[in-house]
Structure 1
Amino acid sequence: MPVSRNASDRRVVPAPAAEVFELLATPARHPVVDGSGTVTDVQERTPERLSPGARFGMRMHWGLRYKILNEVVEFEEGRRIAWRHAGGHVWRWLLVPVDETSTLVIEEFDASTSRVPLLLLLIGAQRRNQRSIERSLDRLEAWARER
């Protein structure tokens, strides 16, 4: 049986889906929920709000400072947003309203479309990304409670 390179987790957060989506669709706010500790800021010419097919650049830091360009590949207002970069793998957020004041949030790292699957395996991306997702959901929940 092949080893999965994907990672995901879910959490009910105390915020309406529309507010959670707005946070996720605003690149300048991504550091608020980044559980990896690698997202530092947006690059110049990044849109204020994401939309289908939007390209947005982020400043990153993982040992070294670098920039990464992402493209929105899935977009359903208030429900789903996903992006990928040159590596081909996808970061996806799914939002399911539980009621008017809470949302089931699912974050996924999907490596099934990766252009570098061996590299992901060698760097332990699945394990690292699983921890990052758990921390992202912790941060999202804290944001929801403090807003």
Structure 2
Amino acid sequence: MTVEQVEQGPRRVARTVEVPASADDVFALVADPHRHGELDGSGTVRGTVSGPQRLSQGAQFSVAMKQFGVPYRITSTVTRIEEGRLVEWRHPAGHRWRWELTALTPTSTRVTETFDYSTVSAVQGKVFELLGFPRQNAAGIEATLRQLASRFARA
């Protein structure tokens, strides 16, 4: 499995991988916020989640996180969802996380995860860059996608 960089424009960090699973199976995992800890390759998502079992437009979910050694909790809001194809949520800081699924065959799906900070102010975007968030999130996305592909390869 090879994780590849995807160019999606300024202030968007995206990676993609082919996963040996149906788009519906991958969507079921991504659309369940209680399972996001199973996906996380960054090491920031903790198991404590509150919110619906399945995400929907406008739904909110809260996740326990830990970054730079500091535990915290965030509540994100679903901004877009398309059954079997797309899940996107807005972080309280204004950036978005997006999962796009493209069925290649009935048992193979192209999965693209994007950290999109084009939605924040120029100053906030510069702060993200100075703190190294694009680089850190690229590494986290790559680890997440490798973990996702491996998970389904074992299933």
SS in 2 for 1:75: strand
Partner of 2:110: 104
Partner of 2:140: 132
Whole-Å separation in 2 of the counterparts to 1:8 and 1:42: 26
1:48 and 2:53 are equivalent in the alignment: yes
1:1-147 matches, cutoff 5 A: 4-44=10-50, 46-62=51-67, 63-115=69-121, 116-147=124-155
Closer/same/farther in 2, CA of residues 29 and 20 from structure 1, 3 Å limit: same
Contact 2:78 2:90 in 1 (8 A): yes
Q: Which 5+ residue runs of structure 1 have no aligned equivalent?
A: none
SS in 1 for 2:57: coil
What is the deviation of 1:94?
0.3
Runs of 4+ in 1 over 3 A off after TM superposition: none
Structure 2 counterpart of 1:55, one-letter code: Q
Closer/same/farther in 2, CA of residues 101 and 43 from structure 1, 3 Å limit: closer
- Normalised by the length of structure 1, the TM-score is 0.93
Whole-Å separation in 1 of the counterparts to 2:48 and 2:83: 22
Whole-Å separation in 1 of the counterparts to 2:27 and 2:39: 12
Contact 2:33 2:49 in 1 (8 A): no
Whole-Å separation in 1 of the counterparts to 2:77 and 2:107: 30
What is the deviation of 1:72?
0.4
Q: Which 5+ residue runs of structure 2 have no aligned equivalent?
A: 1-8
What is the deviation of 1:6?
2.1
Structure 2 counterpart of 1:54, one-letter code: A
Matched residues, number: 144
What is the deviation of 1:134?
0.5
Task: Encode CA deviations 1:61-103: one digit per residue, 9 max, x unaligned.
Answer: 1111100000000100100001112111110000000000000
Structure 2 counterpart of 1:114, one-letter code: V
Whole-Å separation in 1 of the counterparts to 2:34 and 2:154: 18
Whole-Å separation in 2 of the counterparts to 1:92 and 1:57: 17
Whole-Å separation in 2 of the counterparts to 1:113 and 1:36: 22
- Percent of matched pairs sharing the same residue: 42
Whole-Å separation in 2 of the counterparts to 1:114 and 1:142: 33
CA RMSD of aligned residues (A): 1.4
